[in-house]
Amino acid sequence: MILTPKILARIVAIVLLGVLLQLSFFSRVELLHTSPDVLPALVVALALLGGGMAGAVIGFSVGLLVAALVGEVLGLTSLVLLTTGYLAGAYRERADIFGVLMPALLCMGFTIFAEAGYAVMQLVLGVDASISALVLRDLLLKGIYAFFLGAPIYVGVRRLLRSALVEDRAVRRSSQPTVLGA
Amino acid sequence: MYRKQVRRRRAVLALLVLGSFALLTATYGKGAGGFGEGVSTVFSPVQGVVDRALKPARDFVNWFDETLEARGENDRLREQLAEARALAVAGQVARQENDQLRELAGLRRSGAIPPGYEPVAARVIARSPTLWYASVTIDAGRRDGVRVDDPVVSGEGLAGRVTAVTGGAAQVTLITDPAAGSAVSGRVVPGGVQGIVRAEVGDPDELILDFIDSARLVGRGSTVVTAGWRSDDFASLYPPNLPIGEVTEASIREQEASQTVHLRPFADMRDLDLLQVLTGGWRG
């Protein structure tokens, strides 16, 4: 990804919009008693386009913003999302992404990873309450929702950042029409 | 050149990880603190607008969920309706007697709000995305008289307490939050058995009344209200007699072995929209 001030502004806008939508919409709707969590999918989508470092920085920022807005302990969500973003970006650096099914599957996998990571961190820090088995159901359903929301998020983010993507530039250059007789 | 890039990359990653741990250490057990208040002050007006704009879409999605749930609950609700009709008649008689007794004793007819408290209505504008923190942000803050530790109720019962406040918004930690600070002193009516109401992570429809006196058994269907104790030096954050929930599971074995019973909160924690902050009160 080629970072220009314009692209940076777009990424900031995407992150702010994603966080606001999560807190004001997705966290407050329920399907089968579980709210979707689009933030890991958003971080994964940006990491798949920008690479490991971009994923880590964006994951950290998203986590910090969310924790500050809902009054959680700072650093925990950041740590989980920066790891998620870095791993998703690192995967992208080693393998190619085809179609929209693959990003959707990656969003699902990394959302389950992020939710499980968050749960493990909470348990490591100590939870002063009993834990319901419904936590597992919530984790799996969040993964399934991420699968369905992951594809449109990836496509949307990719569209918004298209001008900064190296491969898209290469494709556009190679598909320039040849001028006959030139 | 490549090595330099790798080194820089590792340094940034290490910095972010260390930064996360430093923030975690600095704010653990305290919440987001001043930074959170600052961010919340900036974002709460935008969140308010976004919340109102997205309400129709939210209601549309929730309608699907409620329809699915309603189909399964229909039969159970029919049975409950018959029971509730009988209870309603008994309740009206009891209320009439209660009113008469209150008048006789010269007590103030307090209704739902305890005397001395000034309710401030607020709308939920954001909600935590994780099960591990049960908290919501409301659009009333210091300017409306809201202070940290003010109790918060929904139309059905106790919802939580204010844990952070800015000029125009406040964060409410719900009673279903697993943190130790969310525990509430509860009292069973009838019977008067007291205990600590605690959350169960992952299930906002379930609370646990812990540390009850195992010699006095609690029955299924009993109501749990806030105990609201007060001494010379200390006082409970919650006033007495705010309804918390109904006992749903109270096996004798569990009560004797682990001194706990299970209850369902009256307030629907999954669908909080309008809340009331009880300002003032005995904390002055």
How far is Cα B73 from Cα B167, in angstroms, rounded to an integer? 42
Q: What is the pLDDT of residues B16-35, one digit of tens each?
A: 999 999 888 888 877 767 77
* Element at A20 (helix H, strand E): helix A5-24
CA distances from A99 to A104, A152, A154 (A): 9, 12, 10
Q: Which domains does chain A have, with CATH numbers?
A: 5-166 (1.10.1760)
- With H, G, I as helix, E, B as strand and everything else as coil, classify residue B82: helix
Q: In the structure, what pLDDT confidence band is assigned to residue A1 with cuts at 50, 70 and 90?
A: confident
Q: What is the pLDDT of residues B199-250, one digit of tens each?
A: 888 788 889 888 877 777 788 888 899 888 766 667 778 888 888 999 888 7
The distance of B8 to chain A (nearest Cα, Å) reads 10
Predicted complex: ipTM over 0.90: no
Picking from A92, A107, A97, A114, the residue whose alpha carbon sits closest to that of residue A44 is A107
Picking from B12, B279, B2, B282, the residue whose alpha carbon sits closest to that of residue B142 is B279
Q: Are B252 and B269 in contact (CB under 8 A)?
A: no
Question: Between chains, do B201 and A132 touch, taking CB under 8 Å as contact?
Answer: yes
Contacts of A181 (CB under 8 A, 6+ apart): none
The pLDDT of residue B133: 81
The pLDDT of residue A49: 92
What's the CATH fold of domain B32-72+117-284?
A: Thrombin, subunit H (2.40.10)
Of residues B155 and A54, more confidence is placed in A54
How far is Cα B83 from Cα A79, in angstroms, rounded to an integer? 51
Q: Are B69 and B205 in contact (CB under 8 A)?
A: no
Instruction: Count CA within 13 A, CB hemisphere, residue A6.
Output: 6
**What tokens were used for A141?**
């359903």
Q: Which candidate from B43, B179, B200 shows the least CB-CB separation from A69?
A: B43
To the nearest whole number, what is the mean pLDDT of chain A?
87
How far is Cα B247 from Cα B174, in angstroms, rounded to an integer? 19
User: Which residues from chain A sit within 8 angstroms of residue B47, using beta carbons?
Assistant: 20, 23-24, 69
User: Which residues from chain B sit within 8 angstroms of residue A79, using beta carbons?
Assistant: 17, 20-21, 24
User: Which residues from chain B sit within 8 angstroms of residue A134, using beta carbons?
Assistant: 202-203
Residue B190: asked if its preceding bond is cis (omega within 30°), the reply is yes
Percent of chain A clearing pLDDT 70 (strictly above): 91
The distance of A171 to chain B (nearest Cα, Å) reads 26
CA angle, A32 as apex, A27 and A37 as ends, to 5°? 30
Report the pLDDT averaged over residues A36-48. 95
The pLDDT of residue B107: 35
Picking from B264, B108, B146, B238, the residue whose alpha carbon sits closest to that of residue B186 is B238
**What tokens were used for B66?**
């409620």
Q: Which candidate from A37, A78, A79 shows the least CB-CB separation from B129?
A: A37
Question: Quick one: residue B134, left, alpha or beta (phi over 0 = left, psi -120 to 50 = alpha)?
Answer: beta
pLDDT of residue B108 exceeding 50, the answer is no
CB atoms near residue B190 (< 10 Å): 8
Taking only residues 141 to 170 of chain A, the set having a beta carbon closer than 8 angstroms to any beta carbon of chain B reads none
Q: Are B188 and B276 in contact (CB under 8 A)?
A: no
The pLDDT of residue B209: 87
For residue A162, which amino acid is it? R
Q: What is the pLDDT of residues B182-192, one digit of tens each?
A: 788 888 887 77
The pLDDT of residue B189: 83
* Element at B247 (helix H, strand E): strand B243-249
Lowest mean pLDDT across A47-56, B110-119, B139-148, B252-261: B110-119
Tell me the whole-structure pTM to 2 decimals: 0.73
Q: What is the pLDDT of residues B31-57, one digit of tens each?
A: 767 777 888 888 888 888 888 888 888
Q: In the structure, what pLDDT confidence band is assigned to residue B99 with cuts at 50, 70 and 90?
A: low
Q: In the structure, what pLDDT confidence band is assigned to residue A172 with cuts at 50, 70 and 90?
A: low
Question: Between chains, do B24 and A76 touch, taking CB under 8 Å as contact?
Answer: yes
What are the E-state strand segments in chain A?
Answer: 130-131
Q: What is the pLDDT of residues A74-121, one digit of tens each?
A: 889 999 999 999 999 999 888 888 778 899 999 999 999 999 999 898
User: Which residues from chain B sit within 8 angstroms of residue A77, using beta carbons?
Assistant: 130
pLDDT of residue B128 exceeding 90, the answer is no
Question: Between chains, do A78 and B19 touch, taking CB under 8 Å as contact?
Answer: yes
Contacts of B14 (CB under 8 A, 6+ apart): none
CB atoms near residue B259 (< 10 Å): 15
Question: Between chains, do A56 and B16 touch, taking CB under 8 Å as contact?
Answer: yes
User: Which residues from chain A sit within 8 angstroms of residue B133, using beta carbons?
Assistant: 70-72
